[in-house]
Amino acid sequence: MKPTVYVESLKLLEREDLGIARGRLTSDLRLERRADGRLVAVRGDDVRAVTVRRLFPWSQPGQYISLRDDEENEVALVRRVADLDVDSARMLEVALAEAGFVLEITRIIDIDEEIEIRNWSVQTRQGSRTFQTKLDDWPRELPGGGVLVQDVSGDLYVVPEPDALDSASQKLLWAYVD
């Protein structure tokens, strides 16, 4: 997903001409689980299956969550999970946990470049992993000093404290941080 989407979503909060006032973005929104397990957004008679996309800042995971339909169109923007009713907030938190599983890199074993792909071999808190990134997708520095890597499947890997990595891992990582 392109960063401009995040900017456009945040601009949506500021637009008065849309008739959307802060605090009312989610006032009439309910989230439910269908029998097939899909999350649905309900506004009056409008019921749509949605997926969740956490927007920036990563340091505030309970804020600015985009609910998107199957065509990736934004159905709703949840400014804060706390703005939802209790049951909807619980549904959103479960959906975020399912969609937002982030692997924490503790060691970088190797990064190998091919024609248009970069192959990563890492150790995470969850075990050994290998994944691929596009050559033009660079790891991003996060506010607070961490580094975020997104693979070709959209899975996220984070190095919360790059300076805590061993020296070989640091050398590999900093060679690719944009």
Check residue 131 and give its pLDDT: 96
- Specify the pLDDT at position 112: 96
pLDDT of residue 109: 98
SS (H, E, C) 2-18: CHHHHHHHHHHHHCCCC
> For position 26, what pLDDT does the model report?
64
Residues ≥6 apart with Cβ < 8 Å to 143: 57, 58, 59
Cα first-last separation, the chain: 17
Report how far residue 62's alpha carbon sits from residue 55's, in angstroms, rounded to the nearest whole number.
Answer: 10
For residue 8, count CB atoms less than 10 angstroms from its CB and return exposed for 0-12, middle for 13-18, buried for 19 or more: exposed
pLDDT for res 15: 36
Tens digit of each residue's pLDDT (9 = 90 or more) over 145-169: 889 898 887 788 889 899 999 999 9
Decide: 111 and 120 in contact? Cβ < 8 Å.
yes
Pull the structure tokens for residue 92. 């959103």
Which is more confident, 71 or 2? Answer: 71
pLDDT tens track for 20-76: 333 335 678 999 999 888 899 999 899 999 988 878 665 666 788 889 998 989 999
